[in-house]
């Protein structure tokens, strides 16, 4: 009977450890996702900053850090919207890959593009 109790306790320990590992995996996955988003935002911020520098030279003006940060946020939010739209278009077409046709549909919605 002691063997059954130990076996039961062992199974409970295994379940507990598995639960802890599952939580740790989810936390690690969330951290990785956040790091990925932060890296993308940093890349967009860098690019927006470079564009502002180039435009500033042409127009003989400068852009404040707040303006660059705001432009970065607006750009990133717009890219998120485009991404969701492109995903929706490909899912509607029962595809797992975004194609040039999806991009054409996206551009059609915005006459400026």
Could you tell me the end-to-end alpha-carbon distance of the chain, in angstroms, rounded to an integer? 75
Q: For 28-61, what is each residue's pLDDT tens digit?
A: 888 888 899 999 999 999 999 999 999 999 999 9
Cβ contact 103:79 at 8 Å:
no
Task: Give the helix ranges, DSSP H, for the chain.
Answer: 2-59, 65-92, 100-108
CA distance 25 to 32: 10
CA distance 66 to 71: 9
pLDDT of residue 24: 63
Q: For 57-108, what is each residue's pLDDT tens digit?
A: 999 999 999 999 999 999 999 999 999 999 999 999 999 999 999 999 999 8
């Amino acid at each position: 009977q002691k063997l059954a109790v130990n076996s039961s306790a062992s199974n409970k320990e295994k379940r507990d450890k598995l639960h802890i590992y599952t939580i740790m995996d989810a936390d690690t996955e969330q951290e990785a996702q956040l790091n990925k988003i932060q890296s993308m935002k940093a890349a967009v911020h860098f690019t927006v900053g470079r564009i502002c520098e180039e435009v500033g030279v042409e127009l003989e003006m400068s852009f404040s850090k707040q303006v660059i940060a705001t432009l970065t946020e607006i750009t990133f939010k717009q890219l998120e919207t485009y991404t969701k739209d492109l995903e929706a278009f490909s899912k509607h077409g029962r595809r797992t890959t975004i194609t040039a046709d999806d991009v054409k549909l996206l551009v059609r919605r915005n006459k400026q593009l």
